[in-house]
Structure 1
Amino acid sequence: MKRSRHKIYISAVISMILSLLGCGDRSHKDVIVQESELTGSNIAEEQSDPIEATLVRRIQFEKTVFASGTIAAKQTSNLGPLVEGVVEKIFVRVGDRVKAGDPLFQTRKVDFERRVDEARAAMNLADIRGVQAKRNYDRAKELASQENISQARLDDVETSFQIAGAEILQARAALETAEQQLTDTVVHAPFDGVITARNVDEGVYLSNRFSTGGSSAVVRIQEISIVSAIVQTPEENLGLLALNLPARVQIQGHKEVYDSFVYILNDLVDPITRTVELRLPIKNEDYAIKPGQFAEARIILPPRELLVVPRSAVANVGKITFVFVVVDGIQNQVAVEIREFDSEQVEVISGLYEGDSVILNPPHSVKDGEKLKRRIESGEY
């Protein structure tokens, strides 16, 4: 009789605890006492040695791809002479900011002015010969109509007239060439930019045959109102990247972090470094960013949702990865597929659903399919 009353008393206490817990704040720790034949001696044991569990969560995750490289100008031109001759005057210095069309340097003009005079004289001579040839042809046609000259003579006069016309065209082309060469003695800026190199001084003779760069270039001009961060990232990231992805660029020597995006994604993977190249444009209207500076970029990938659980919930037996899921007081061993996420959590690829309750650090006593005989502490995670 006393033993029965003792059991009734324990049952009443358990009911009161469950009632109080049902009204409590479940945002902290829930205590769920599973149905069992408890005695006064094992209640203390269950209270001191609980099983801890947590819920499978769904989170928003933004992954970042890191890349590093160098700042480059939008455009770079090494400008040499357009015509051969002595560099007579250089109008700019390193650091000068120029507008498109501004004069940069000049080749000696006197020789080309003389060539224009010679070509113009040749043009005048050709015009005069043309006028004379036209008169002869008109007169010959009139005489031929009166049968005063032979057809052969008329053909010769007509041919001379046609030759005079061709000589006029040839002289005109030569004059235009000479005038263009005279114009080309002055080299102008092809775009707005800054002078970043001056390779020679006045008095140096340069040929226009090899004026595309190197020692034949007089100045270098770069457009840097917009610069480009040319950065590389390991080829393993190639499948994650796409044009127009947003990016944040940190440039050495600058506190500001610059907004950008993937403008160019190179189709070539470097076979030596195993990296892929990206180009990220950056506005630089005040010219504060200089070509050649070191840059680090974070390319922000589109956010995605994923399920995560703590690493401590996952166990392995051989090649099988599993967790224990609690459903209606039953502990169920569930095989899962996971992927690395961070030092404390793993991503769940398959096997679990959002809101599933999983046991943390499952003890050896936890068996698949058994009813729980100890309380569960479900903590925040």
Structure 2
Amino acid sequence: MLRAGTFPVWATVCLLAAGCDRLGFRSRAGGDGPAQKQPESIEVSASAAIAQTVPERLRATGSIAAVRSANVAPEVNGRIVETYVEPGDMVQSGTPLVRIQSDDAEQRLAQEQAAYNEAVANERFAMAEAERYRNLLKTGDVSRSEYERFKAQAEAAGAAVATARAAVAIAQRELRNAVVRSPFAGYVAARSVTAGEFVSTTTPVAAIVQLQPVKAQIQIPAFEAARLRQGLSLTLGTPSFPGEQFRGTITALNPNVNPESRAIVVESELPNPQFRLRPGMFVEAQILLDEQRRVVFVPEEAVVYDPDLDASRVFVVEDGAARVRVVEVDRRPGAARPGFVEVTSGLVGGEMVIRSNLDELYDGARVRRSHL
């Protein structure tokens, strides 16, 4: 009979053995009884765990935002007679968005053009008269005062032409302004008017958002602000494109601290030639700081994860045998060496880590290294 509060030693040993067996800490050789045949060695590929000094990384989250956006309003009052775009359409700089009724502008342009043509004709006649009187002055057939009078008329006619030309330019601009155009390339986020509505110069007709480039706005705890500066490199990942990394640098640091979140906003401008990144997308950022740290890297295929025990392990070669090392790894995106996993504890660097035939291995298994 067992005394209350005690646990049999044999039961403890069994539980420990079972746990070790789950992690690969088991040996298939040895034991009591007659000598057993030594198992054949398993051929494996192995490579050295790499110890390296890399920049310290600061992780944070944020979202994509537009570098430039505009609520486009007309420059003339009038009634909308036609719309050319729908929300989601891609537009170039100068693409027509809507057209405003332009009957008055067309009539005014015709009037100003007629006035200009008349002014040009008057100028030609006045200049011809001034030239004729200049020649008569040379022969003494007219007085200088008469010549000066016609010369002044020619100059006034020239000024009238300049005034008429300016009036034509204004009328042409008003007619052009009847068509509201996109101020830059981007996409139509909203169109707020329809045909038949009356609009003024304060009425937005469409919202345009530029998508090339875009910027990431990242929330950083205020106490980390001293570690940041413009020009630091960063990588971004987003659930919208799993496994992909977008690279940039810090282009702006907002000095204001949000009183609720106690965070500052860091911005990074990113190229977006295919318009894949859209405003509002969630991003995870890793900022490479000026500080350095020492880490160990092993090939991704060398790490075995046991979800039941929530532990990762690797096999290392020691004296011709495979030995288990329980490790902690950082699998988050942005590793300094693509194809490798960062080991944060369990290895010091230089160990020969096995990366093949892992399903055949156990702690103490005899191994021989392949030369491939």
TM-score tier after normalising by the smaller chain length = 0.5 to 0.7
Q: Deviation at 1:160?
A: 1.2
**Which residue in the other structure is 2:280 paired with?**
292
Is residue 258–residue 264 contact of structure 2 (8 Å, CA) maintained in 1? no
Q: 2:234 aligns with which of 228, 235, 247?
A: 247
Q: In the alignment, is the contact (CA less than 8 A) between 1:260 and 1:281 conserved in 2?
A: no
* Separation in structure 2 between the aligned mates of residue 265 and residue 92 of structure 1, nearest angstrom: 34
Partner of 2:172: 179
- Paired residue for 1:199? 192
Amino acid at match of 1:77: A
Shift of 1:182: 1.8
* Runs of 4+, deviation exceeding 6 Å: none
Question: For 1:63, what is the secondary structure of its paired residue?
Answer: strand
Give the SS at the match of 1:247. strand
Output aligned runs, 1:145-184, within 5 Å.
145-184=138-177
One-letter code of the match for 2:115? A
Cα distance, 1:80 vs. partner? 1.6
Matched residues in 2 for 1:294 and 1:93: separation?
Answer: 26
Shift of 1:62: 3.9
Equivalent residue in structure 1 for 2:93, among 92, 100, 109: 100
CA–CA distance in structure 2, aligned partners of residues 236 and 275 of structure 1 = 8
Greater Cα offset, 259-268 or 131-140 = 259-268
Partner residue of 1:71 out of 33, 39, 64:
64
The reply on whether 1:281 has 2:257 as its aligned counterpart is no
1:228: how far off?
1.4
Helix, strand or coil at the partner of 2:126: helix
Equivalent AA in structure 2 for residue 294 of structure 1: F
Larger mean CA deviation between 189-198 and 156-165 belongs to 189-198
Equivalents in 2 of 1:218, 1:183: separation in Å? 16
Query: Structure 2: which amino acid aligns with 1:299?
Result: I
Output the TM-score relative to the length of structure 1: 0.57
Asked whether the 8 Å contact 2:101–2:178 carries over to 1, the reply is yes
Written as runs of structure 1 = structure 2, the 5 A alignment for 1:1-381 is 60=53, 62-208=55-201, 210=202, 216-251=203-238, 253-266=240-253, 268-270=255-257, 272=259, 275-302=263-290, 304=292
Distance 2:271 2:65 in 1: 12
What TM-score comes out, normalization by structure 2 length? 0.58
Change (3 A) 1:220 1:191: same
Cα distance change on mapping 1:62 and 1:136 into 2, 3 Å: closer
In 2, Cα distance between equivalents of 1:61 and 1:139: 89
Tell me if structure 2 keeps the 8 A contact 1:235–1:269. no
Maintained 8 Å contact 1:242/1:262: no
Q: Which residue identity lines up with residue 291 of structure 1 in the other structure?
A: P
User: Number of residues paired by the alignment?
Assistant: 246
Query: Displacement of 1:235 after TM fit?
Result: 3.2
After superposition, what is the alpha-carbon deviation per residue over 1:49-103, rounded to whole angstroms, capped at 9, x for unaligned?
xxxxxxxxx9836422233333112321221213332222110101112233332
1:113 counterpart SS class? helix
Q: Counterparts of 2:271 and 2:162 in 1: how far apart (Å)?
A: 50
Structure 1 SS opposite 2:86: coil
| Partner Cα separation in structure 2 for residue 225 and residue 158 of structure 1 | 59
C-alpha root-mean-square deviation of aligned residues, in Å?
A: 2.9
One-letter code aligned to 2:126: A
Displacement of 1:196 after TM fit? Answer: 0.8
Question: How far is 1:253 from its partner?
Answer: 5.0
Does the CA contact (< 8 Å) of 2:234 and 2:250 recur in 1? no
Equivalence for 2:326: none
In 2, distance between residues paired with 1:302 and 1:90? 53
